[in-house]
Amino acid sequence: MQEEQYSPHRWVIQAMLMLLQVGMGLNFMSPTPLFPVIMDEFEISRSAVSLLVSATIIVITVALLPGGLLIAKMGSRRSMTVAGVLMSAHLLTPLTDSFILLVIIRLVFGMGVAITIPATSAILMEWFKPSELPLLNGITEAGRSLGVAVGVFVAVPVTNLIGWEMTLLSFGVLPLIGAFAWMMGGRSNVSSTTLEPPFSIRDNIPFMLNRNTLLLAAGMAGAFAVFIGFSSWLPAYYNEVRGIPLERASLVVALLPLMAAVLNPVSGLIQSRLGKRKPMLTMAGLTLPVFALGSFLVPSQIIATVCVMCLGAIFSIFIVAALTIPMELPGVKSSSVGLVTAAVLTMGNFAGVVSPIFVGSLTDSLGSYTVPFCIIALVPLTLVIAGLFLPETGKRATNGIPKPATS
């Protein structure tokens, strides 16, 4: 049974998952370097244009738990196909004639993301060995980060050639291709799922609301606040305050997800061999504020750029640990890990909703980015709390936590 569960077909499954992850990332932050262009197009404020990120994360936050239920009830093949179609919503961008319609397109995209994220965790746990999960989480996050980096890198240059509407349309093509690929070749691992008892929402509520989930959720919120808030507004800050051309400012900020994309697999490999998760969370919580502050307070743009790159590197360490921990918690199965992951990410995404709106609104009010950036930069200290009080779930845990059965 174990040989059938961990068949070579799992690498085909991973390849199809990667297509959807890159497509998700490509569309997720691509509007942010275009904020000044969209503000001029629709004559809106900073706080209003922030909705293109915040509204997306709002619907992700609200829909994550239903998305976890969907994958448990419908199965991976149908759920991931639906998710890919929803994530291709940017194909409709040229049809918009108002900012409200553009926000609605982003909401539809967010619904697809809300299904994809918990479904990905469930599928990885179904198909891969426990010892492979940190590496696979790293590779999966690398796909998302690579998509984000490419989207932020090329959004302005492509817009200069074909306009911002056609740019967003072109980004919507990849998730649609991923949806068709998954519809043709994706499936659940029957040999894995048949080993588990029937899914029950009541039985899984304690996993979603227990102390460990809440601690990890608080840490996730701190990291996401910095990642989303700074990715959204650093391009505009460098352009408006430091006089850097928007295209070059976007390239600088794109280094954040690019570093995460490059280092996520490395982080996954290291953490797979290290066998510990808590030190990763604590280290990330202590260093993210330092590099976040350096990205805008340091006068030298070269050093500020290095700080942006370090933010991406530290985020890659954090996210691999944070997504692996739910898979290692005692009693969590592949049918329920999507719900646990969704519960953890709900708090992170809520912080991602508030962060860009907070920065945009307070900057409009104060006429300066400094105060909101300083506040957001300190929020990742919640990761230190999570790192201190969470139990160690890695294979080298010494706290007596029973490890889940590996079949």
How confident is the model over 209-227, as pLDDT tens digits?
A: 677 778 888 888 889 899 8
* pLDDT for position 401: 44
Confidence of residue 333 (pLDDT cuts 50, 70, 90): low
How far is the C-alpha of 125 from the C-alpha of 364, rounded, in Å? Answer: 45
Query: Would you state the structure tokens that stand for residue 52, as one six-digit string?
Result: 């293109």
CA distance 298 to 289: 13
If one compares 396 and 26, the residue with the highest pLDDT of the two is 26
The model's pLDDT over 79-93, given as tens digits with 9 standing for 90+, comes to: 888 899 999 999 999
Q: What CATH number does the domain located at 2-389 have?
A: 1.20.1250.20
Mean pLDDT, residues 362-380 = 92
Residue 103 DSSP one-character state: H
Please determine, for residue 97, whether its predicted confidence score (pLDDT) is greater than 60: yes
pLDDT at 396 over 80: no
pLDDT average, residue stretch 162-171: 93
102 has pLDDT over 60? yes
Q: Is the pLDDT of residue 252 over 70?
A: yes
Res. 324: pLDDT tops 60 = yes
pLDDT for position 310 = 94
For residue 317, pLDDT beyond 60: yes
Residue 128 has φ and ψ, to the nearest 5°, of -115, 155
Q: Please, which pLDDT band fits residue 236 given cuts at 50, 70 and 90?
A: confident
**Rounded Cα–Cα distance for residues 164 and 330 (Å):** 47
**pLDDT(198) > 50:** no
Could you say which DSSP state residue 299 is in? Answer: S
When mean pLDDT is compared over 158-167, 199-208, 243-252, the highest value belongs to 158-167
Contact 256, 150 (CB under 8 A): no
pLDDT greater at residue 308 or residue 29: 308
pTM reported for the whole predicted model: 0.69
pLDDT band of residue 345 (cuts 50, 70, 90) is confident
> Average pLDDT for residues 94-119, to the nearest whole number?
90
Q: What percent of the chain has pLDDT over 90?
A: 28
Structure-token pair, residue 279: 């030190």
* Between residues 387 and 405, the one the model is more confident about: 387
Q: How many CA atoms are closer than 13 Å to the CA of 130, on its beta-carbon side?
A: 19
Mean pLDDT of the chain: 82
Q: Which of 135-139, 165-169, 224-228 is least confident?
A: 135-139
**Position 138 pLDDT exceeds 60:** yes
Distance CA 85, CA 91 (A): 10
What is the arithmetic mean of pLDDT over 399-405? 43
What's the mean pLDDT in 301-305? 94
CA 141 to CA 316: how far, in whole Å? 8
**Does residue 384 contact residue 266 with C-beta atoms inside 8 Å?**
no
Amino acid at 303: I
